[in-house]
Amino acid sequence: MDRVALRGLKARGHHGVFPREREEGQTFIVDLVLGLDTRPAAADDDLAKTVHYGIVAEEVVAVVQGEPVNLIETLAERIAQVCLKHEGVREVEVCVHKPDAPITVPFDDVTVTITRSRV
């Protein structure tokens, strides 16, 4: 399976279990790795035979900016389901970064990474 990766998609969302997170929001960063067969697109040099990563990026940002959830695990699952709606995408790895998580000790990042595929 071939891979198309999008790294560092940034969007502001209002996800989290604490009222402050819901009210003020924060930046989330998403990395995606889409698994698909790119040979048909490459053979014909045809965008219609692959995944349009620009559209995927817009859809992912819309999920992050959309309805708030408590957990970034839930956010990652919603993002994965949006990606799998694209016909050629057979598998997706989603990593959601929450660099401003409400943690009381110094840290660089908090991430949740999931892999989902078509059944």
pLDDT digits over 82-100, tens only?
999 999 999 999 999 999 9
Helix (H, G, I), strand (E, B) or coil at 95: strand
Q: Give the pLDDT band of residue 119 (cuts 50, 70, 90).
A: confident
55: its two tokens = 């559209």
CA atoms of 84 and 80, how far apart (whole Å): 6
For the full predicted model, state whether its pTM sits above 0.85. yes
Say what the alpha-carbon torsion angle 55, 60, 64, 66 is, to the nearest 10 degrees.
60
CA atoms of 96 and 72, how far apart (whole Å): 7
Respond yes or no: is residue 10 known to be catalytic.
no
62: its two tokens = 């819309």
